[in-house]
């Protein structure tokens, strides 16, 4: 709500200082321009000069309100009203503060006082002789009242009454909110009373003047619920293509396309939604579609993988519980279950699953042995991990991951010469680049640190430089930390500092980079 005043300084007393008046005027201007923090500082300055002035108190109250501090705003509005019962900015502030705090009866009482103020002035025979800006302010107050009463009626479930108030609010100018939120409220009243065609008409009219994601979404659902699935699909697609958050539009698109028997398109939209956020797709309505549509049970795999990526291992296991009975041969999903059990703390269950997958014939034995080895390293059971990796390597000597696994066993035993030997054996088997930090990246990273810990700093630098360019984007702080320590051991402190800076820019809490930067600073003081 843009706050205006009827005259230059409503409520300002004759003894107000010029400095206070100046701060008040500048604060009022900043508030109108939605510069709320600046307005607040200016209002505080004015209040320090004239703490008992109702106009200044109201302005300060509004700056608190606009910054979300209603508990600070309320007593200021109350004090301003006690000092001047005609201070309209205080009355209006009390109405909206009580509304925001969920006190409907109190809010309504203040809106009625606000209406009495505006109605008295509108009825004055001299109203037409008022300055145009003063007339407009009074009419805006009247519109503001009807809008507020409409919102109260809507909150009480009286959609018809709310709509009537909103219509009256449109009859006069409103320089506090403008008419668009009021028009949107009318459309919402139609929507929530089940008048979907009327709602769609209103939403469409508003959206013709500018984009609004929330209104675009309700337009789509207005079409959907009125049975116009073609227009619903169009509205949801438009929203998906331009909204920052595509999830609610993808959700609507699932149902709009499904209703037109475009099941492949519906499944595609649902697949995209699950990949972005499985929680928003995991609803009773979506479950009903999956259960009744042939071929859609396979989406359980998508749900499980997405939950796993979110590190929600409990939900991954629950999803696999209904999906796996329909997919006996889905080895990757069963593997997700084993890892979820491991991360969830069901260690023996996880190891039993890895063992069963390695010997059960559903999955490639060497792949399962690799996962089993990784799990055993995770548990610190290095001897058993070594046996699993050695067995995988025996069945396929060109398996780079098995050689890297043996290198990791040596690395965690702190047998760095042996780790270097093992990692070097797998270098020719590594892919040229990686999208994410998986086993090839781990192999290079551990190799780099093995070089550092054996004093082979130039080789460490070469390894970390390779790792730096190994991914499409520099997103892993640990890579730059390793690079920084390599430079530091080679007495290239400026380059070390730049590398540590890059690491901390990616992750301010990277302990290795913090330690490296402290070492660089200490070395600098020593010089």
CB neighbours of 201 closer than 8 A, spacing ≥ 6?
none
Which pLDDT value is given to residue 10? 37
In a 13 Å sphere around the CA of 209, the CA atoms on its Cβ side amount to 10
The pLDDT assigned to 9 comes to: 35
Question: In the prediction, which pLDDT does 18 show?
Answer: 58
Contact 20, 46 (CB under 8 A): yes
Cα within 13 Å of Cα(224), Cβ side = 22
| Domain 434-527 in the same topology as domain 204-293 | yes
Report whether 288 contacts 268 (CB < 8 A). no
**CA–CA dist 436, 427 (Å, integer):** 17
- The confidence score (pLDDT) of residue 75 equals 97
From the list 372, 462, 354, 445, the residue with the least C-alpha distance to 408 is 445
- Distance (Å, whole) CA 329 – CA 87: 75
Alpha carbon distance 299, 275 (integer Å): 11
* Nearest in space to 3 (alpha carbons), one of 39, 38, 37: 39
**Is residue 354 a contact partner of residue 368, using CB atoms and an 8 Å limit?**
yes
Output the pLDDT for position 524: 62
CATH superfamily ID and name for 434-527 = Tetratricopeptide repeat domain (1.25.40.10)
Fold of the domain spanning 204-293: 1.25.40
* Location of structure tokens 């409103």: 174
Tokens of 106: 């109190």
Would you state the pLDDT for residue 286? 98
Token code pair at residue 197: 């065609």
Output DSSP code: residue 56: H
Instruction: Return the pLDDT at 216.
Output: 97
Separation of alpha carbons 228 and 223, rounded Å: 5
Q: Provide the residue ranges of all domains of the chain, joining segments of one domain with +.
A: 204-293, 295-363, 434-527
What pLDDT does 4 receive?
Answer: 39
Show Cβ contacts of residue 118 under 8 Å, excluding neighbours closer than 6 positions: 138, 139, 141, 142, 145
Per-residue pLDDT, 526: 52
The H or E element that residue 205 is part of is helix 196-207
Q: What is the greatest pairwise CA distance in the chain?
A: 101
Query: Residues in the chain with pLDDT < 70?
Result: 1-20, 523-527
Model's pTM, two decimal places?
0.73
Full DSSP string of 234-294: HHHHHHHHH-S--HHHHHHHHHHHHHTT-HHHHHHHHHHHHHH-HHHH-SHHHHHHHHHST
């Amino acid at each position: 709500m843009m706050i205006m005043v009827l005259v230059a300084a409503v409520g300002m007393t004759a003894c107000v200082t010029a400095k206070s008046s100046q701060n008040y005027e500048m604060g009022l201007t900043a508030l109108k321009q939605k510069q709320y923090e600046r307005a607040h500082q200016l209002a505080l300055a004015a209040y320090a000069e004239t703490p008992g002035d109702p106009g200044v108190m109201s302005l300060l109250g509004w700056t608190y309100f606009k910054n979300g501090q209603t508990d600070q705003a309320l007593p200021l509005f109350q004090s301003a009203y006690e000092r001047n019962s005609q201070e309209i900015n205080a009355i209006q502030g009390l109405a909206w503060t009580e509304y925001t705090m969920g006190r409907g009866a109190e809010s309504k009482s203040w809106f009625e006082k606000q209406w009495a103020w505006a109605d008295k002035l509108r009825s004055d025979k001299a109203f037409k002789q008022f300055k145009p800006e003063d007339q407009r302010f009074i009419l805006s107050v009247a519109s503001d009242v009807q809008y507020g009463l409409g919102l109260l009626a809507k909150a009480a479930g009286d959609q018809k009454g709310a709509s009537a108030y909103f219509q009256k609010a449109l009859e006069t100018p409103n320089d506090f909110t403008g008419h668009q939120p009021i028009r949107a409220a009318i459309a919402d009243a139609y929507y929530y009373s089940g008048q979907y065609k009327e709602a769609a008409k209103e939403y469409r009219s508003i959206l013709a003047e500018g984009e609004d994601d929330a209104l675009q979404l309700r337009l789509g659902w207005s079409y959907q619920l009125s049975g116009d699935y073609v227009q619903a699909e169009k509205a949801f697609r438009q929203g998906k293509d331009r909204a920052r958050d595509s999830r609610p539009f993808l959700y609507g698109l699932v149902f709009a396309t499904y209703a037109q028997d475009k099941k492949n398109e519906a499944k595609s939209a649902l697949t995209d939604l699950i990949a972005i956020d499985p929680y928003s797709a995991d609803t009773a309505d979506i479950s009903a579609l999956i259960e009744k549509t042939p071929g859609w049970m396979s989406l359980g795999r998508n749900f499980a993988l997405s939950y796993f990526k979110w590190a929600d291992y409990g939900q991954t296991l629950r999803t696999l519980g209904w999906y796996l009975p329909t997919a006996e041969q889905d080895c990757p999903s069963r593997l997700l279950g084993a890892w979820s059990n491991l991360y969830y703390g069901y260690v023996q269950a996880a190891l039993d699953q890895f063992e069963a997958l390695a010997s059960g014939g559903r999955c490639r034995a060497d792949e399962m042995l690799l996962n089993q080895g990784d799990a055993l390293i995770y548990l610190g059971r290095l001897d058993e991990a070594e046996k699993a990796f050695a067995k995988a390597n025996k069945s396929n000597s060109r398996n780079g991951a098995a050689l890297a696994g043996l290198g990791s066993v040596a690395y965690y035993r702190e047998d760095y010469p042996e780790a270097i030997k093992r990692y070097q054996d797998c270098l020719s088997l590594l892919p040229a680049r990686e999208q994410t930090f998986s086993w090839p990246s781990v192999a290079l990273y551990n190799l780099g640190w093995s070089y550092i810990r054996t004093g082979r700093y130039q080789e460490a630098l070469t390894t970390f430089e390779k790792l730096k360019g190994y991914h499409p984007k520099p997103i892993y702080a640990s890579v730059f930390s390793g690079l920084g320590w390599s430079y530091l051991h080679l007495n290239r402190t400026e380059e070390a500092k730049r590398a540590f800076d890059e690491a901390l820019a990616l992750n301010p809490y990277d302990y290795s980079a913090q330690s490296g930067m402290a070492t660089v600073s200490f070395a600098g003081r020593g010089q």
